[in-house]
Structure 1
Amino acid sequence: MAFSLSGCASWSLWPSGGESEAQRVAGMLERGDKHWTLRACGREHDRLLQPTPELRRLFDDVGQPGQQSMFAELEVAEEDGRWIVHKTHRVQSTGRGCMDSSAATSQWVGFSFDPAWRVDITAKGMQLTTEDAESGRQLSMISEQMPDGVLGFRGVHEQGLELWLYPSGCIERSTGDYYHLSATLVRDGQRFKGCGYQGGEI
């Protein structure tokens, strides 16, 4: 089956008045005594947030003892002045948060910190970044989507390079952060496990 990116949710940091369609927002998530709020990246004010049971659990799992705020990327819809969470893309207690623009031009990202590798899927192809001299090249690719939602990307000329993204949550082992996709990199017959997430260029 041919894989199309045109049907994915658009990247948006702030909803317009009266908007109710689902959109992605990223920012600082805070769990208060009575309310949850999210301050979207680049904004000065918090918005009330209605979390899902999954987000409540992930906040406890990812956060350090006593931590009340952390970076999150969520799919939300606006209702009665609040954001209603539909899906959790990322919850991170580490990293650069809103300052991290590394995936701004990527459609999908798969990565691991140990061993260290990263694959960015962009409109131009797939780019593998590792510690060896072969990394950093932009490669032409073939992409596909399976009926169960699995996404696959293969190098056209690099037959030994594949990235597979699975619609199942992933806890990154070295940081404890959450990502909404699990990833597998296949390189020269070897398989490497990691996490993945949707980038900003959709």
Structure 2
Amino acid sequence: MPYVRPLLFALLPLFAGCQLFSVYTPPSPTAAQQRLQGELRLQQGKLLLRPCGEQRQLEVINDGSNDIAREAATLFADGNEQLFVDLRGTAGASKQAGLDGEISPSQVYRLQGEGPACNEPGFSSLLLRASGHEPDWSLGVSEKGLVLLRPDQEPLALPYVEEQLPGGNFNLSSEANGQRLELWLAPQRCVDSMSGAVQHLSAELRLNDKVLRGCASFGGARSQ
């Protein structure tokens, strides 16, 4: 027994060293996420993405975490030869000859068969875009404010406040110039009733006493 305590004290630095080693061991590297927009084509059963302004061709891997393959098949069946996609995912080297890489989407923000695609004006500065029909309306949000567009009416530009809510929901609200506007957004698949475009947010616009519904997606200046 008289030798036990000195032995324990002698081993303490060794135990401490082991703990420090485990604490400060750098974590294993993880693949970085990328956000890409571009042209999506179906070729020999594979979804191929050509990012905007590039010549690369990336295979879009459907690993079951999203429905991009099924959604794309529906839009291709409507007669679209190519689609526009806005997504975020993990990129890697391709296992197929003739391709420049592959990407596994973790989030598909927007998938559509018509529209301005890579040439959408002001996309890079947009935080959010939302739109709906019957009646038609569209709304763009940037750091400077929001603008609501409706047929036969002047654009309505307003400041806004954003509030985060449980479950990934959030809303934008504004009360200025005699107008009360609220945009409620929920993270759920939403299909445009006219074009069939798929977006990752459902939207409900409340303007004074009117309630308008539609879909929404993040702009180029926002990913979360």
TM-score (structure 1 length as normaliser): 0.82
Distance 1:116 1:83 in 2: 35
Give, as a single letter, the amino acid of the residue that structure 1 aligns with 2:161.
I
Gaps of 5+ in 1: 1-17
Quote the residue 2:172 is aligned against. 153
Which of structures 1 and 2 has the bigger CA Rg?
2
Q: Select the residue among 175, 191, 198 that pairs with 1:171.
A: 191
Percentage of identical aligned residues = 26
Question: What is the total number of aligned residue pairs between the two structures?
Answer: 184
- Quote how far apart the aligned CAs of 1:19 are: 8.8
Residue 119, structure 1, aligned to residue 139, structure 2: yes
Larger RCO (alpha carbons 8 Å, 6+ apart): 1
Which runs of structure 1 show a deviation greater than 4 angstroms over 4 or more consecutive aligned residues?
Answer: 65-68
Gaps of at least 5 residues in structure 2 are 1-28, 94-100
Counterpart check, 1:72 vs 2:85: yes
Instruction: Tell me by how many angstroms 1:50 deviates.
Output: 0.8
SS of equivalent residue, structure 2 residue 77: coil
8 Å CA contact 2:190, 2:198 repeated in 1: yes
Residue equivalent to 2:200: 180
SS of the residue 2:171 aligns to:
strand
Q: Normalization by structure 2: what TM-score?
A: 0.74
Give the Å deviation of 1:40: 0.2
Distance 1:34 1:111, change over 3 A: closer
Query: Does residue 91 of the first structure (1) align with residue 111 of the second (2)?
Result: yes
**Match for 2:162: what amino acid?**
S
Once the two structures are superposed, what CA deviation does each residue of 1:28-55 show, in whole Å capped at 9, x if it has no partner? Answer: 1122225321100000121222124401
Contact 1:110 1:165 (8 Å CA) reproduced = no
- Greater helix proportion: 2
Report the secondary structure of 2:68's partner residue: helix
Amino acid at match of 1:72: V
